[in-house]
Structure 1
Amino acid sequence: MSTSKRSQNSSSRGWGSYTAFLFAAVGSSIGLGNLWKFPYELGLHGGTFLVVYVFCVVLVAFPLMLSELAIGRLGRESPIRSIAGIVKEYRYSTLWQGIGWLGIITGFLIFSFYSVVASWILFYLMQSLGGSLIDAPAEIVRHSFSALLRNSDQMILWHSVFVLMVVSVLSQPVRVGLERAVRFLMPLCAVFVIWLYFNLSDVGNVAAAKEFMFSFSLQNITPELVVSALTQALFSLSIGIGILILYGSYLSDDRPLLIGAGAIAVFDTLFAVAMAVFIFSIVFKFGLQANAGPGLIFQTLPVAFSQMPQDQSWVASLFFLLLLIAALTSGFALLEPTIAMLVDRTNLPRRAAAWLAGSVAWALGLLSVFALQGNQFGFFYFSKEYYHGYFDLFNILSTHLLLPLTALLITLFVSWVLPRTLVRETMRLRYSFTFSLWRFCSRTLAPIIIGVVLLLVLAYPS
């Protein structure tokens, strides 16, 4: 692809500012991965999970972020066309184009069940705003989540509302819809997090939460923990779904990739840890169990909220509002690559492409909604039985298999296939040590770690 063509694409559909890019990229990573999945994985495995997770972020996810942003800067198109353009220009095998397709399919599949989880957030947000959690009997609150899962009408309603919210933003041009949304939502999210954290000592047991979270035992490292930690790092930082390639394509050539990737990784990790401290502080304050699994946020925490004094009822509403903001920013990131692909390959107007992608994702999400009724199929994975049919299948298939597979192909393509000088020039890394460190992680450590995890996923669970 010629330099003039790249410059034209960058100016016509790029970010209005570097700040907008950072807001959007941080917003894509700060989502339900931090507020729903990270706390329940940490609750199941203890502080050992946090240590392994941080290692995975530093050694695997961060180098991969630089690789994806570099692909976007080189290609200046949607993930599929970016990689296709690079492959054509440098005469590589066309098989590498599969990376773009795999990433978009993965993100789209995640969005289909992600929007169902977001429907739970909307339901509990309405409950908290309406005062239904105030002084409610703990047993009733505890069973309200299982009752919601059996109520397909409620889930379809809120699933539809969430998809409409995402599509209504993404149907606008990038600078009008996505950029304005993240410029508003991300500072609001930061204000809410700071507010909750500084009021934490009044509503929770901070000491117990930190003791639980920051404990480490080498004996607790299991194959399942390693798989969960790596896939959580990839999922949380939006690796392998094409969004960082797309966001990188919107970024001008003179902007530093290292600072952007570093800011995303740091803010995402700090946000996840801060919210975990908040969640477990409340859980331990009211004597509840931390190892509740996926129901931690929607079963255990509402019980704690119901036992709070009436003058602290704002905590529940603010928490679920924060969850909704995080879900929206990640929802934008999951669906945007599909929309960009449709615009590039079919010449559909952006509005039509957004509604088409949203409609198909909504319909696919219905499979997960009805799977939660418990009348589909079950299977075993890492010696644990999963019985929510397509909901569990989509979750495990996308996050534990497709996500690391895409990540592996990306790190091999950028660090082994693309010319060394081209990659360094694209990344704008000034110091040789910095580039050498990235190259070692990307060429050696990341492929080995991801390869081991893929082997565990494919061989161990059976």
Structure 2
Amino acid sequence: MAQLKLSTQAWTSQTIFILAAIGSAVGLGNLWKFPYITGENGGGAFVIVYLLCILLIGLPILIAEITLGRAGKASPPQAIANIVRETGSSKLWVLLGFNAVMGGLLILTFYSVIAGWGIAYFVDSLFGVFSGMNADQAQQHFDDFVASPSGLTFWHSVVMLLTILIVVKGVRSGIERAINIMMPGLLIILLVLLGYATTTGALGQSFEFLFKPNFSALTTDSVLIALGHAFFTLSLGFGTMMVYGSYMPKDYSIVRASLWIVAADTIIALIAGLVIFSIVFGNGLEAGSGPGLLFQTLPIAFGQMTGGWFFGTLFFGMVVFAALSSAISMIEPAISWLEQNWGFTRRKAAWTLGLFSWTLGLGSVLSFNLWKNVHFLQDKTFFGTMDFLTSNVMLPLGGMFTALFVGWVWTQQQRDGESGMPPKWSNLYGVLVKFVAPVLVFVVFVESVT
């Protein structure tokens, strides 16, 4: 890999970079996973542990990934190769970059399937399907929906097509334009829904549930879930922040941008939790209803409440924005790699990778119907296997070795010089990225695979 294979694209402003990174971080993890794992793990006490994990793991590794991308100024494998040449370290570190590219691409194969559910439910809500729907009907609607291979394939295809059409236009004409629409749109919808939450009569109960600590409900598993989600929610380990960093000019502050990204991602997750639990509690439903909270519980609420058609459509519209902003970030590292190292045009790279992701995603589609009794790794479906390999193996290992590379291969002077770390934070950051973050991620990794 030659030193001259560098990224030629750049963000038009630091604000756009921050919005794009927030768009990558804010996905179904914020709107789907965070509310239900909070509900299952005791509410406020879980939130406290989660916020600590964000500070101890999420922020240090986020800074590390963006810094590596900007220093290497290329796709993840090439960026690591460029830095390895400068430092004289082992070429095996390049495997870190390949792990990132493949991790993001493999996640996209099943993420697009779940994102397709969001688009389908947006359309359903738009046409009033949830009007007057009760619990049994909501359950039956969901069961019928996932039981249809053709239906899931259609919505999976819609997500992949939209993703390709956005990224094929490049950073400025494609990703930036999409982010300029989707992120403000998501935030406006979220604030409108928060305003509605104040009228449900359950905002206080929702606030208490999210922020009043109940440590008796906190278990060891809860802590591990918080650790894992703090890592996953910031799009760490699959190359997105690295390749987005490679498009970042030298005069942008990595530390300031990272703080904005972490703050926005966390605030959006908490506001989404307030909105969802206000709707759930206001309609007498259960908070700890697991993954079905988004696609089975909320349609009941939207079907029964006043203005349910309007607010349900807004909510699932927000889900669509969040899902697409994350999907485009998952394919971008691989596109960058094919452009820089294999001479692909962006159009050819986008369609090639899109077709690969779509094809492999069919296995996840079938996991919910025709292949639901077909098991692969550890008695998991194809969908469960892909989720396990990426979320429990590839991402944690990628994040851990990213921290170790920045913490131990670079000197403190190199690390601080590239990241722009203020001197008063330098020693603390060194401890976090060299010891605390890698150890905690390793603990999550070991627990998740045993």
Superposed CA offset, 1:111-148 (max 9, x none)? 11111101111111111000111123432122211111
Whole-Å separation in 2 of the counterparts to 1:29 and 1:174: 17
Superposed CA offset, 1:300-337 (max 9, x none)? 1111111112x342000000000000000000111111
Whole-Å separation in 2 of the counterparts to 1:426 and 1:172: 30
| Residue identity (%) | 35
User: 8 Å contact 2:236–2:395 — kept in the other structure?
Assistant: yes
Q: How many pairs does the alignment contain? A: 447
Whole-Å separation in 2 of the counterparts to 1:24 and 1:297: 24
Superposed CA offset, 1:339-374 (max 9, x none)? 111112210110010001111001111111101112
**Counterparts of 1:68-147 in structure 2 under 5 Å?**
68-147=65-144
The counterpart of 2:402, out of the listed 410, 414, 433, is 410
Whole-Å separation in 1 of the counterparts to 2:177 and 2:320: 17
Superposed CA offset, 1:422-451 (max 9, x none)? 11110112x322111211111121122112
2:159 is paired with a residue whose SS is helix
Counterpart in the other structure of 2:383:
391
Cα deviation for residue 221 of structure 1 reads 3.5
User: 8 Å contact 2:301–2:308 — kept in the other structure?
Assistant: no
Task: Give the letter aligned to residue 144 of structure 2.
Answer: A
Task: Give the letter aligned to residue 268 of structure 2.
Answer: F
1:288 is paired with a residue whose SS is coil
Whole-Å separation in 1 of the counterparts to 2:103 and 2:224: 17
Cα deviation for residue 204 of structure 1 reads 5.6
User: 8 Å contact 1:69–1:244 — kept in the other structure?
Assistant: yes
Cα deviation for residue 379 of structure 1 reads 7.5
User: 8 Å contact 1:204–1:278 — kept in the other structure?
Assistant: no
Whole-Å separation in 2 of the counterparts to 1:168 and 1:433: 45
Cα deviation for residue 66 of structure 1 reads 0.7
User: 8 Å contact 1:25–1:244 — kept in the other structure?
Assistant: yes
Counterpart in the other structure of 2:339:
343
1:199 is paired with a residue whose SS is helix
Task: Give the letter aligned to residue 163 of structure 2.
Answer: V
Counterpart in the other structure of 1:49:
46
Cα deviation for residue 378 of structure 1 reads 7.5
User: 8 Å contact 1:138–1:307 — kept in the other structure?
Assistant: no
1:313 is paired with a residue whose SS is helix
Task: Give the letter aligned to residue 157 of structure 2.
Answer: S
> Which one is further off, 420-429 or 315-324?
420-429
1:238 is paired with a residue whose SS is coil
2:249 is paired with a residue whose SS is coil
User: 8 Å contact 1:171–1:354 — kept in the other structure?
Assistant: yes
**Counterparts of 1:351-366 in structure 2 under 5 Å?**
351-366=347-362
Instruction: Tell whether 2:253 aligns with 1:261.
Output: no
Task: Give the letter aligned to residue 282 of structure 2.
Answer: K
User: 8 Å contact 1:21–1:251 — kept in the other structure?
Assistant: yes
> Which one is further off, 314-323 or 51-60?
51-60
1:302 is paired with a residue whose SS is helix
Counterpart in the other structure of 2:296:
299
User: 8 Å contact 2:122–2:313 — kept in the other structure?
Assistant: yes
User: 8 Å contact 1:288–1:300 — kept in the other structure?
Assistant: yes
User: 8 Å contact 1:138–1:306 — kept in the other structure?
Assistant: no
**Counterparts of 1:144-293 in structure 2 under 5 Å?**
144-203=141-200, 205-293=202-290
Gaps spanning 5+ residues in structure 2: where? none
- Structure 1 residues 97 and 21: CA distance shift in structure 2, 3 A: same
Counterpart in the other structure of 1:383:
none
Counterpart in the other structure of 2:368:
372
1:175 is paired with a residue whose SS is helix
The counterpart of 1:39, out of the listed 32, 35, 42, is 35
Whole-Å separation in 1 of the counterparts to 2:2 and 2:157: 42
Superposed CA offset, 1:381-430 (max 9, x none)? xxxxx76x01122122211222111111000000111122111110112x
Cα deviation for residue 54 of structure 1 reads 0.8
State TM-score, norm by structure 1.
0.93
RMSD (Å), alpha carbons: 1.8
Whole-Å separation in 1 of the counterparts to 2:37 and 2:143: 20
Whole-Å separation in 1 of the counterparts to 2:276 and 2:431: 37
- Structure 1 residues 44 and 456: CA distance shift in structure 2, 3 A: same
Superposed CA offset, 1:147-197 (max 9, x none)? 111111111000000100001000112111011111121111111111111
User: 8 Å contact 2:42–2:214 — kept in the other structure?
Assistant: no
Whole-Å separation in 1 of the counterparts to 2:106 and 2:423: 39
Instruction: Tell whether 2:440 aligns with 1:442.
Output: no
User: 8 Å contact 1:226–1:453 — kept in the other structure?
Assistant: no
Task: Give the letter aligned to residue 259 of structure 2.
Answer: G
Whole-Å separation in 2 of the counterparts to 1:129 and 1:146: 20
- Structure 1 residues 378 and 44: CA distance shift in structure 2, 3 A: farther
Whole-Å separation in 1 of the counterparts to 2:75 and 2:215: 42
> Which one is further off, 437-446 or 295-304?
437-446
2:132 is paired with a residue whose SS is coil
User: 8 Å contact 1:231–1:403 — kept in the other structure?
Assistant: no
Whole-Å separation in 2 of the counterparts to 1:350 and 1:2: 20
Whole-Å separation in 2 of the counterparts to 1:353 and 1:222: 45
Whole-Å separation in 2 of the counterparts to 1:44 and 1:378: 27
Whole-Å separation in 2 of the counterparts to 1:106 and 1:46: 31
Whole-Å separation in 1 of the counterparts to 2:134 and 2:287: 20
Gaps spanning 5+ residues in structure 1: where? 381-385
Task: Give the letter aligned to residue 371 of structure 1.
Answer: S
Cα deviation for residue 216 of structure 1 reads 2.6
State TM-score, norm by structure 2.
0.95
Instruction: Tell whether 2:420 aligns with 1:428.
Output: yes
Task: Give the letter aligned to residue 428 of structure 2.
Answer: L
